[in-house]
């Protein structure tokens, strides 16, 4: 409430000037609440919501990094799956009884090249320096703004899992055992790919959820923090009128005071 007492720091003119200064600060920043003095409780809520918004944004980034990692791993497994399928096809060909020893050696030469390619793919498939197909571990991604909201991506030692395929030799080994090894390998690789696909879907769902959460939280913060420009401008104009009136009244009061002092002297 404005105090109309013309004496002391709480004079009408001083109150108007303070109000104008406060309005100018809000208009310049675009914020209704700039510090705790504008509303201690509101500032605390804004700080919490800001932390939530920033956490959500980082969680979204983490989720998409996780999707990228899973896609790289799945791409490497797709290549390995093709190589194992080709090894199976060549193994079936080697089971043809009319083939000579030199024929089987030619087949084994291609199988050996594919085996080397599988090992190389497993070695070179990594994400940001993290190996994805030659060691078993978990890569954790924080995909929520709060503790405990994380998704783990399982990496696998594919070379160890496919050791039987990598040792296939159709020039001397049993074709039936080799076929069983390729079938088991295809099943394992398929399982790894399915798991990565499910994890990608989980991460994508988390990213969508966090995106919506960020929008809603930012909107809630804005309703508390953002300035109503139309209302603020109206108040500013009103304060300008009050300032001019207060200045005029103060001038008249000073003039009258001077006249009284002149009469008394």
pLDDT digits (tens, 9 = 90+) for 77-126: 999 999 999 999 999 999 999 999 999 999 999 999 999 999 999 999 99
Give the model's pLDDT for residue 181. 96
Q: Diameter of the chain by CA atoms?
A: 139
Which long-range contacts link 181-187 to residues 24+ away (Cβ below 8 Å)? 182/84, 182/85, 182/87, 182/88, 182/91, 183/88, 185/84, 185/161, 186/81, 186/84, 186/85, 186/88
Average pLDDT per run of 10 along the chain, which is 265 residues long?
Answer: 44 57 55 64 80 88 96 97 97 94 96 97 94 94 88 94 95 91 97 96 93 86 63 53 55 58 57
Residue ranges, CATH 1.20.1330.10, the chain: 48-222
Structure tokens at 123: 């070695």
Give the model's pLDDT for residue 12. 56
- φ, ψ (nearest 5 deg) of residue 261: -65, -35
R_g of the chain, CA atoms, integer Å: 38
Give the model's pLDDT for residue 3. 46
Give the model's pLDDT for residue 32. 63
pLDDT tens-digit series, residues 167-181: 999 998 789 999 999
Give the model's pLDDT for residue 9. 40
pTM for this prediction: 0.72
Report whether 12 contacts 4 (CB < 8 A): yes
Give the model's pLDDT for residue 147. 84
Instruction: Determine the Cα–Cα distance for residues 8 and 5; give it in Å rounded to an integer.
Output: 8
Among 100, 134, 106, 107, residue whose Cα is nearest residue 118: 134
- CB-based contacts of 220: which residues, under 8 Å, 6+ apart? 49
From residue 171, how far is each of 84, 94, 129, 165, 237 by CA, in Å? 18, 8, 38, 14, 96
Give the model's pLDDT for residue 235. 55
Residue whose tokens read 């070379």: 159
Angle at 84 between CA 81 and CA 90, to 5 degrees: 145
Find the helix or strand (DSSP H, E) in which 140 lies: strand 134-142
- Superfamily (CATH H level) for 48-222: f41 fragment of flagellin, N-terminal domain (1.20.1330.10)
């Amino acid at each position: 409430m404005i105090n109309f007492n013309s004496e002391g720091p709480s004079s009408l003119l001083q109150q108007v000037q303070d109000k104008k200064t406060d309005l100018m600060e809000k208009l310049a920043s675009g914020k209704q609440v700039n510090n705790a003095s504008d509303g201690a409780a509101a500032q605390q809520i804004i700080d919490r919501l800001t932390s939530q918004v920033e956490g959500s944004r980082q969680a979204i980034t983490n989720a998409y990094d996780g999707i990228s990692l899973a896609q790289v791993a799945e791409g490497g497994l797709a290549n390995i799956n093709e190589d194992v399928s080709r090894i199976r096809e060549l193994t079936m060909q080697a089971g043809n009884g009319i083939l000579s020893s030199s024929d089987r050696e030619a087949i084994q030469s291609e199988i050996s090249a594919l085996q080397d390619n599988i090992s190389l793919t497993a070695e070179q498939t990594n994400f940001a320096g993290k190996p994805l197909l030659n060691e078993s571990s978990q890569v954790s991604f924080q995909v929520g703004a709060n503790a405990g909201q994380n998704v783990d991506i399982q990496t696998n030692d594919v070379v160890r899992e496919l050791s039987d395929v990598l040792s296939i030799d159709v020039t001397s080994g049993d074709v039936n055992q080799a076929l069983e090894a390729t079938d088991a390998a295809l099943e394992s690789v398929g399982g790894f790919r399915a798991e990565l696909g499910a994890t990608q879907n989980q991460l994508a769902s988390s990213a969508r959820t966090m995106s919506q959460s960020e929008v809603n939280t930012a909107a809630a913060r804005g309703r508390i923090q953002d300035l109503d420009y139309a209302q603020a401008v109206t108040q500013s104009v009103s304060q300008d009128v009050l300032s001019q009136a207060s200045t005029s009244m103060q001038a008249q009061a000073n003039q009258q005071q001077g006249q009284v002092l002149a009469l008394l002297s």
